[in-house]
Amino acid sequence: MNKTLIPGLALHAQNRTIYEVSLRVGKGVLSVMDVQEGEDVDGQNERNLTISSTDLEKLNDLLSRVTYTSTVYHIKTEDLAYFSFENHEVIFPIEIRRPSVPVLYDPGRDINSQVTVLVKAFLRYKELRVLIKSIRVNYPNLKIIIADDSHNPEKIDGDNIEHYIMPPAQGWFAGRNLAVSQVTTKYFLWVDDDFLFLNEMRIESFVKIMEAVPELDVVGGEVDGNRFAFKLLYQEGNSDEGGCITRVRATHGPVPGLDGCFFVDGVVNYFMGRTDAVRRVGFDPFLKRVAHTEFFIDGLGGLLVATCEGLRIGHQERKVTGDYNKYRFPPKSDSDQKNNHHFFKNHLKCIKY
């Protein structure tokens, strides 16, 4: 709703006795600034504007002063402008948006002020303590945020650890939401509670990549050699049936300037995220037990994701525990309920993994 110059308006034509152009818009009004006596402008502050002159240079001077003002408040929309001369017409868009306020993060002087490690914990306290010990080998002061929905929570001691206790068995994505909501750094590193930081593992390598390509929102590493990088092929359906999503193990191609990095749609469960970008997508708390790809489906077209070689983390020995496995591998009825929700929420008729 502010008057704004339309840049670049001009007419290029051969000699005429008179030059007349018209402009029309749908969601605002047009005007010419500083119209002088003798300048032929009709339709000031209206949706239809006509400008004429016997001199092409003077006409283009008037066109250089044409402004647009939206008249209906909206934070993000667009209008179409129709610019006509004789039997020629050009159509161009005008973006209407409310300017957003920047959100800046103090980079500080070291990794501790740039990254927070996030963990979702459930029952596996022995593995969680091993993970924390491995983090502290190279990162004694790095903040660790733990979202814990265990039935009988145990106290986790240590400096720079925030341990949030949730109602029991709230689930995987609810815990992720809680953990991400408490991050105050520009980036976070997501790890599972049974991962193991290796001696050669450096969080700084993630940050270097994210800073080199500021458009990146998520960068995935590899867990025991597995990068689990994938593309999501989405075919839009009609309003009755919905579309189809197919997950394939492939990439969209290399990230320019970064050897070993490739654009993808989803990565393994070990990744660095740009905090504000991931918050905008969020994690669907309906998905309690088995969920991972669903986050990247929700972020499709909104998150720029890459996978990079050499960003390794270890995995502790996998152990069978009855209570944990009961939740980790839910009954078929839970899977059916999850699929029903997924198909409805994303308006799908098929999913192929």
The Cα–Cα gap between 103 and 276 comes to 8
Q: Summarize pLDDT for 225-269 with one digit per residue, the tens.
A: 899 999 999 999 888 889 999 999 999 999 999 999 999 999 999
Q: 185, 306 in Cβ contact below 8 A?
A: no
- Check residue 323 and give its pLDDT: 67
* Both tokens assigned to 235: 């075919």
The Cα–Cα gap between 313 and 151 comes to 28
Q: What angle do CA 4, 7, 11 make, to 5 degrees?
A: 130
- Check residue 329 and give its pLDDT: 63
* Both tokens assigned to 340: 């029903």
Consecutive H or E run containing 281: helix 275-281
Burial of 15 (0-12, 13-18, 19+ CB in 10 A): exposed
Low-confidence stretches of the chain (pLDDT beneath 70): 320-333
Q: Summarize pLDDT for 10-23 with one digit per residue, the tens.
A: 999 999 999 999 99
Q: Say how many C-beta atoms besides its own lie within 10 A of residue 159's C-beta.
A: 9
pTM of the model: 0.85
Distance, C-alpha 54 to centroid of its chain: 52
The Cα–Cα gap between 267 and 269 comes to 7
Q: In what order do the strands lie in the sheet with 231-238?
A: 231-238, 242-248, 348-352
Count of helices and strands (H, E) across the chain: 8, 21
